[in-house]
Structure 1
Amino acid sequence: MSQRKIARSLDELPSPEELMSVPGLEMMRSIVSGERAGPPIGETLGFAPVEAEEGRVVFEGIPQFEVANPLRTVHGGWYGAILDSCMACAVHTTLPAGAGYTTLEYKINITRAIPLGVVVHAVGIAQHSGRSTAVATGELRGKEDGKLYATGSTTCMILRG
């Protein structure tokens, strides 16, 4: 995973005014390119966006020891965090300037354990982006072997103005 610009303080994150001044796709692409700082949760949990196009965002992640549970496997919360991120960001890419979003609910289905240190891709695809809600799905797969580790779905509330 390449080094991305990560915010080290609230002042380095885009302001609410800046977030609302550009279309969601432009904002996501600027984070992927490193022009704008990404949120610190990505560094904390070991994942970051690596691709963004309208209605589709890919996150790359490497679960490390810090996200292991007592059974020595990746904690289910890590699956949820990376899938929630890619799915919600896929919704973000469909929004015009002046609109935002928040996750209303999401669901994940874990199909197998991710070995610690394995590089994965989480792909989020917006299925619907309406006036007040949006729906997206996601898949978490091994980057090299393509194994399916989890699937997800989300409903987001669209915030305007």
Structure 2
Amino acid sequence: MPEQFFPKSPDQLPTRETILSMSGLDFMERVLNGELPMAPIATGLNYRLHSVKLDEVVFRGAPKFDHMNPSGTVHGGWYGTLLDSAMACAVMTRVAKGSVYTTLEYKVNIIRPIPSGMMVDCIGTVEHAGRSTGVAIGKIIGVDDGKLYATGSTTCIIMTPK
């Protein structure tokens, strides 16, 4: 798999014209192949795009000490950001050329704590993609133990800019 590109400044992010010039699936495949940059937040939260196909996106990563609460557990925001990324990007695979999307709302259910440093997969799967909305579900699963650590759901709005 090619090395993914993590931007260091805003001028390295794709332009609106670039984004609108391709389908969402094409966009996600280009990110996976390192032709377009990953979201900058993925660097700080220690995850990467692992696989892309129509209706499904997988991110892989591991929380670090920097992602913990004072009580020594991984902050819920780490789970939420990872789930939002996977679920919304799964919806992106269904977005037509000339359209964009954004998360409208999402929900997270943390089932058990992820130990710091443990590698997990976050799988986002489209349940529905229409003209103006997309709905997806997500789950965080341990790579080595196969245990379910969290689930989520999202609704995204799909828009065609004028």
| TM-score band w.r.t. shorter chain | over 0.9
What TM-score do the two structures reach when normalised by structure 1?
A: 0.97
% identical equivalent positions: 48
Q: Give the RMSD, CA atoms, in angstroms.
A: 1.0
User: 1:101-155 deviations in whole A, cap 9, x for unaligned?
Assistant: 1111000100000000000000000110111111000000001111100000000
> For the residues of structure 1 that align with 2:69 and 2:75, how far apart are their CA atoms?
5
Q: Does 1:107 align with 2:128?
A: no
Partner of 2:145: 145
> For the residues of structure 2 that align with 1:46 and 1:159, how far apart are their CA atoms?
30
- 8 Å Cα contact 2:3-2:33 kept in structure 1: no
Partner of 1:74: 74
Partner of 1:28: 28
Partner of 1:158: 158
* Structure 2: runs of 5+ lacking an equivalent: none
- In the TM superposition, structure 1's runs of 4+ consecutive aligned residues that sit over 3 Å from their partners are none
1:61 shift after superposition: 1.0
What TM-score do the two structures reach when normalised by structure 2?
A: 0.96
Residue type of the alignment partner of 1:87:
M
1:38 shift after superposition: 1.0
> For the residues of structure 1 that align with 2:6 and 2:39, how far apart are their CA atoms?
6
1:3 shift after superposition: 4.9
> For the residues of structure 2 that align with 1:99 and 1:125, how far apart are their CA atoms?
20
* Count of aligned pairs: 160
Partner of 1:45: 45
